[in-house]
Amino acid sequence: MEVRAENVRKEFDRFPALHDVSLDIRSGELIALLGPSGSGKTTLLRLIAGLERPTSGRILFGDEDASDKSVQERNIGFVFQHYALFRHMSILENVSFGLRVRPRSSRPSNADIRRRALELLDLVQLSGLETRFPSQLSGGQRQRVALARALAIEPRVLLLDEPFGALDAQVRRELRKWLREIHDRTGHTTVFVTHDQEEALELADRLCVMSQGRIEQVGTPDNVYDTPASPFVFAFIGESSQLPVHVENGAVHLGNQSLGLAAPGSAGTGQLFFRPHDIELVEDSEALGGNVVASRRVGGTRRLEIALAETAQRVEIDLPFDHPAVERSRVGFRPKRWKVFPTG
C-alpha cells in the first residue's frame, strides 16, 4: 500500500510538532524516519496510523483520503519500543488477539486463527514457545512476538516506533538483520522510526531525515550519506568536520589561504563540510595543514585530530592505521569529497 503525507501540519496547543511535511511512501518499501529526539518522527507515525489528526494537510492510503478513517479501518500493524504484550495471555493468545477481536463476519475460524498464529511464530523464529507467557521471554523475544502480533492482522502498513530501542546493542544488531529478512519475505510497506543512524543506514531502502518538525532529506542511504542536502544532514549522518570559509575567484579559502578546492558559482561566506576518511595527504601549500594534537586507533584506521596552522581550529582525518604519516607531528591534506553550504 502506498501512503502519502501531503502538506501535513500538526500543532499541539499551538506548538507546531510538524510543519508542512510531504512524504511519499512507496508500496512495499522499508523507509526509516531518522532524526534526533523531538524532531517529529512519532507524531508523523501516529498521523499515518490515525491516532492523531493533522491540523492541516492530508494522509492518503493509495488514492484514498484516510482523514476520516479510524485506526481499525486503516488496518495498521504497530510495534512500539515498550509495546507491552498482554501479560496474562500466552504467546499464542497474544499473536491471535487481533484476529479474535474481529467482528464475527470477518473473523477466521478458530482453527484458521491458530494455524496463522503458529505460522507467524515460525516466521519470527519462536516456534515451540507458544504456551509461554511474556514474562518468560527475553526482551528481544518479546519484540519478535510484538511483530508477529502486528503481522497477524495482515496490515496494509506496518509502523515500527523504535522497536529495538530498549534492547542492548548486540541484540539490536541481530534483530535488525532479522527484520530486514522478514521484510524481504513478506513485502509489507514498513515505516521504521529510529534516532540511530547506523540502524537506519543498515536497514532501510530509503531514509527520511527529520529535524525540528521538518523533513531535511529523503533518499537512499548511499544518496543521503554521499550527498547530504543540508548542513544538518551532513552533521547528523556520519562524521564530519566543519570550517567557516569563503568562496572567491572560484576557489574555497580559509582566511587568506586557498585550499585548492574549486567552487564555481557565487562568492560569499560558507561552511565547509568533509568527512574524516574523504581526504588525501598533500605536500603543496594550497591545502589544509597543521599539528597533530591527538591520535587514536579505531579498528583498521587511525583518527588524527589536527589543529590547523591557519586558525588553530580542530578537524579530524582518518588514515589507515599502518600509514607512515601517522607518525608525523605535522600533516597537510585536502578533502576529496566536500561541500560548502553558503551562510551569507
Stretch that binds Mg ion, among 41-49, 73-81, 93-101, 224-232 (CB under 5 A): 41-49
197 makes contact with Mg ion (CB under 5 A) = no
Helix, strand or coil, per DSSP, at residue 104 = helix
Distance, in Å, from the CA atom of 15 to the CA atom of 75, rounded to the nearest integer, reads 29
Task: Report the alpha-carbon distance of residue 229 to residue 309 in Å, rounded.
Answer: 30
Residues touching ligand ADP: how many (CB under 6 A)? 11
240 torsion bin: left (phi>0), alpha (psi -120 to 50), beta (else): beta
| Burial class of residue 111 in the structure, from the number of CB atoms within 10 Å of its CB (0-12 exposed, 13-18 middle, 19+ buried) | exposed
Query: Which range binds Mg ion by CB under 5 A, 3-11, 36-44, 66-74, 165-173?
Result: 36-44
Binder of ligand ADP out of 42, 143, 194, 257 (CB under 6 A): 42
Contact between 53 and ligand ADP per CB under 6 A: no
User: Under the criterion CB under 5 A, does residue 42 sit at the interface with Mg ion?
Assistant: yes
Does position 41 bind ligand ADP by CB under 6 A?
Answer: yes
Contact range with ligand ADP by CB under 6 A, out of 19-27, 33-41, 179-187, 283-291: 33-41
Nearest CA among 73, 95, 99, 198 for reference residue 142:
95
- Which of these segments, 30-38, 86-94, 196-204, 306-314, binds ligand ADP (CB under 6 A)? 30-38
Nearest 10 degrees: Cα torsion 161, 167, 168, 174: -70
| Complex with Mg ion: residue 159 or 317, whichever CB lies closer | 159
Among 3, 5, 8, 35, binds ligand ADP (CB under 6 A): 35
Phi, psi of 83, deg, nearest 5: -80, 100
Residues 265-304 that bind ligand ADP (CB under 6 A): none
Name the CA dihedral angle for 235, 240, 244, 245, rounded to a multiple of 10 degrees. Answer: -120
Contact 79, 160 (CB under 8 A): yes
Q: Is residue 143 at the binding interface for Mg ion, with CB under 5 A as the rule?
A: no
Instruction: For ligand ADP, give the closer residue by CB, 38 or 57.
Output: 38
Q: Among residues 14, 37, 296, 329, which is the contact residue for ligand ADP, using CB under 6 A?
A: 37
Nearest CB to Mg ion, comparing residues 204 and 259? 204
Residue 111: which of ligand ADP, Mg ion, none does it interact with, CB under 5 to 8 A by kind?
none
Cell of 63: 488514492
C-alpha cell at 212: 525540528
C-alpha cell at 28: 512495499
Candidates 21, 43, 74, 243: give the one binding ligand ADP (CB under 6 A): 43
Q: What is the Cα–Cα distance from 40 to 30, expressed in whole angstroms?
A: 19
Q: At closest approach, how far in Å is the CB of 201 from ligand ADP?
A: 18
Would you state the cell numbers that stand for residue 344, as one nine-digit string? 551569507
17 vs 145 by CB, closer to ligand ADP? 17
- Determine, following the binding rule CB under 6 A, whether residue 48 of this chain makes contact with ligand ADP: no
Give a three-class secondary structure readout of 134-193: HHHCCHHHHHHHHHHHHHHCCCCEEEEECCCCCCCHHHHHHHHHHHHHHHHHHCCEEEEE
Residue 39, binding choice from ligand ADP, Mg ion, none, Cβ under 5 to 8 Å by partner class: ligand ADP
Residues 145 and 221: their CA atoms lie apart, in Å, by 28
- Residue 12 interacts with ligand ADP (CB under 6 A)? yes
Site residues (CB under 6 A) for ligand ADP, limited to 108-137? none
Cβ-contact 146, 121 below 8 angstroms: no
Q: Which residues would be at the binding site for Mg ion (CB under 5 A)? A: 42
Contact positions toward ligand ADP, by CB under 6 A?
12, 15, 17, 35, 37-43
